[in-house]
């Protein structure tokens, strides 16, 4: 596809590793953390997932863009990903649902892309040496200059504040059975759809909404969403869990899971290269059942830090033994590190929404 075209963009990592390719998407230079995703499909959901704020995603699957962009497949209408790196970009999609190309979407939201690079080599580098900062820049930028720019860059800590909504928004359903207040830390839209399907009216609120404001909404349960960045940066939500645990059933996923663990006295750490893809096997330690899960996170919960807290581990990652789920049955609080709404199984993890419904029903009649 790029035959005869001159390479015009490159990706340089903080240690000087360099990949020359072709520009697509938005123009300009961008510094961000370089991570990889192993999913063969779902690039639109990945690019529009707020959890990729300040991150450039390297797609392990080689052909990206072939089915274009569909109106119904966004996770957020204002994508904030740092960039996208692919082996081969298809700017002529074939799909009756497509309304624009991936490159056009990225232009609209200022997301630069690079194609024509050896993504196998780059994924292997991240796997072996860990995630690192990188800069997407013009092909003519000297490598030493690019590395110097990265060295002078200070990673931001406002990722959740950047992507969280600024005012409450209600997602109504006919004849709702429950009212869920969803704390938006960068929430994917399919989470709202999943709760609506369970007859839940959802009120999505900003991440820094006070406990008193949430109580005034008279929720049946509280949901803590996914989101970008380091969970220790999101103090308001950690304090919110401390204030409201035991008063309402609370269900958290991904970043929400990490913040629940921090609220109960646990700690988190950054993984070498994170978990990002649609095929991560997770074992329910109570039943022995294996779930195939969708994941997207850089941080994990330290299992040793949970000793002596009121949380017990419910799920573990089969690949590396990391904590994938916890619960406090007394407080009706539970969480998972993965994304049950993403349906990679495709229905392996939907039971978690049913559990949330059950907890809210039990609390109502307690």
Catalytic residues: 254, 339, 341
- CA pseudo-torsion sign 174, 180, 183, 189: negative
CB 109 within 8 A of CB 83: no
Two tokens at 131?
């995630």
CA distance 138 to 151: 18
Span between the terminal Cα atoms of the chain, in Å: 63
Q: Distance between CA atoms of 228 and 366, rounded to whole angstroms? A: 36
Token readout for 83 is: 């960039």
Residues 220, 180: contact at Cβ < 8 Å?
A: yes
Q: Which long-range contacts (CB under 8 A, 24 or more apart) does 341-348 make?
A: 341/188, 341/190, 341/191, 341/193, 341/194, 341/253, 342/45, 342/188, 342/190, 342/278, 342/293, 342/294, 343/294, 344/278, 344/279, 344/292, 344/293, 344/294, 345/291, 345/292, 345/293, 348/291, 348/292, 348/293
Pairwise CA distance, residues 188 & 209, whole Å: 18
- Give the list of residues 6+ apart from residue 304 with CB closer than 8 angstroms, or none: none
DSSP 175-198: S-SEEEEEEESS--HHHHHHHHHT
In the three-class reduction of DSSP (H, G, I as helix; E, B as strand; rest coil), residue 124 is classed as helix
């Amino acid at each position: 596809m790029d035959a005869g075209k001159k390479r015009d963009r490159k990706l340089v990592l903080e240690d000087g590793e360099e990949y020359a390719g072709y520009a697509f998407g938005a123009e300009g230079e961008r510094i961000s953390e370089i991570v990889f995703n192993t999913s063969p499909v779902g690039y639109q959901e990945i690019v529009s997932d707020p959890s990729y704020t300040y991150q450039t995603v390297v797609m392990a699957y080689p052909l990206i863009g072939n089915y274009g962009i569909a109106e119904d497949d966004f996770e957020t209408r204002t994508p904030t990903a740092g960039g996208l790196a692919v082996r081969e970009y298809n700017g002529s999609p074939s799909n009756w649902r497509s309304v624009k190309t991936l490159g056009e979407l990225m232009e609209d939201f200022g997301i630069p892309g690079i194609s024509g690079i050896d993504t196998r080599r780059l994924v292997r580098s991240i796997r072996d040496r860990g995630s690192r900062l990188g800069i997407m820049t013009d092909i003519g930028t000297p490598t030493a200059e690019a590395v110097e720019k990265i060295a002078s860059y200070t990673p931001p800590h406002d990722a959740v504040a950047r992507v969280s909504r600024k005012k409450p928004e209600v997602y109504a359903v006919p004849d709702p059975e429950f009212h869920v207040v969803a704390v938006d830390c960068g929430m994917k839209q399919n989470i709202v759809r999943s709760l609506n399907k369970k007859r839940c009216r959802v009120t999505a609120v900003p991440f820094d909404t006070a406990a008193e404001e949430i109580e005034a909404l008279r929720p049946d349960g509280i949901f803590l969403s996914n989101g970008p960045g380091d969970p220790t940066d999101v103090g308001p939500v950690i304090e919110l869990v401390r204030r409201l645990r035991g008063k309402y059933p609370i269900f958290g996923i991904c970043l929400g899971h990490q913040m629940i663990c921090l609220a109960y006295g646990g700690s988190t750490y950054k993984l070498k290269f994170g978990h990002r893809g649609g095929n991560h096997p997770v074992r329910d330690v109570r039943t022995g059942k294996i779930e195939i899960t969708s994941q997207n996170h850089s941080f994990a919960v330290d299992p040793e830090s949970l000793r002596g807290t009121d949380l017990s581990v419910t799920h573990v990652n089969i690949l590396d033994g990391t904590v994938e789920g916890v619960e406090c049955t007394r407080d009706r609080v539970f969480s998972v590190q993965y994304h049950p709404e993403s349906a990679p199984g495709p229905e392996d993890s939907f039971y978690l929404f049913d559990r949330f419904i059950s907890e809210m029903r039990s609390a109502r009649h307690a």
